[in-house]
Amino acid sequence: MSVPPKEPPAKQTIALVDDDRNILTSVSMTLEQEGYQVRTFTDGESALQGLSARPADLAVLDVKMPRMDGMELLQKLRARSAMPVIFLTSKDEEVDEVMGLRLGADDYITKPFSQRLLLERIRALLRRNEASRAEGSGAAPGGVLVRGDLTLDETKHQCIWRGEDIQLTVTEFLLVKALAARPGMVKSRDQLIDAAYGENIYVDDRTIDSHVKRIRKKFRTGDDSFNHIETLYGIGYRYKEH
């Protein structure tokens, strides 16, 4: 009796959104050679329509684009999805890259960029996303973390504060988890980078600062007295025990 052949695992899909067709072509070729399925868009409007109809596993967005720039596209995507997002910014767009992180980007790379670097960042974010899902899917005893008014449920990728659901991206969820896991213990930015991105990935310190600002803002939307994530200037952050 013949055994039916196993179906190959589904390819992970990367959405590339950039009005520079040379970048779309060259990056697509690199990613396809690495086994990814690639969907390309030349402006934010068409990307929003395409990704709303058929989401991707990760998106790489250029900031400056016609019809709808990367910032607006990111805001609209974040209203419905926690999909990992990498921003492409120019060297003179420092304000944009900080704004992008505040809006919920997981990472950013400045142009001109090395395709190898982009590939490493993509791999790291997808690995982390998969690990986060796998941790949750085991429904293990450690799947739910409760710290006073805070509940983090890995299985559902859900964060509850005082009964209210706080919508967090994967990066934000991992940062809150890293801090809340050891209340009162100071976590340096390097330790938080490792927790959110994995080791051997270089991320600027201000990336973590921007994520923390965004996390606080989200908690304070429903509770303006939220002050449980403390900054220790020059050292890092900690989660207050009470």
Ranges of each domain in the chain? 13-131, 138-239
**Averaged over 91-119, what is the pLDDT?**
73
User: Which segments of 61-201 does DSSP mark as H helices, in order?
Assistant: 70-78, 94-103, 115-137, 170-180, 189-197
Residue 55 tokens, joined: 């989401």
Cα–Cα separations (whole angstroms), residue 163 to 144, 148, 181: 15, 11, 19
Task: Give the pLDDT of residue 70.
Answer: 85
Q: The pTM is what? A: 0.64
pLDDT in tens, 25-70: 999 999 999 999 999 999 999 999 999 899 899 999 988 887 788 8
Phi, psi (rounded to 5 degrees) for 111 = -85, 150
Establish whether domains 13-131 and 138-239 are of one fold: no
Domain 138-239 has CATH 3.30.420.40: no
By the 8 A CB rule, do 17 and 45 touch? no
Domain 13-131 has CATH 3.40.50.2300: yes
In this structure, of 6-15, 105-114, 175-184, 207-216, the range with the lowest mean pLDDT score is 6-15
Strands laid side by side in the 236-239 sheet: 187-188, 236-239, 229-232
pLDDT in tens, 3-33: 555 545 568 999 999 999 999 999 999 999 9
Helix, strand, coil share (%) of the chain residues, nearest 5: 45, 20, 35
| C-alpha–C-alpha distance, residues 105 and 227, integer Å | 23
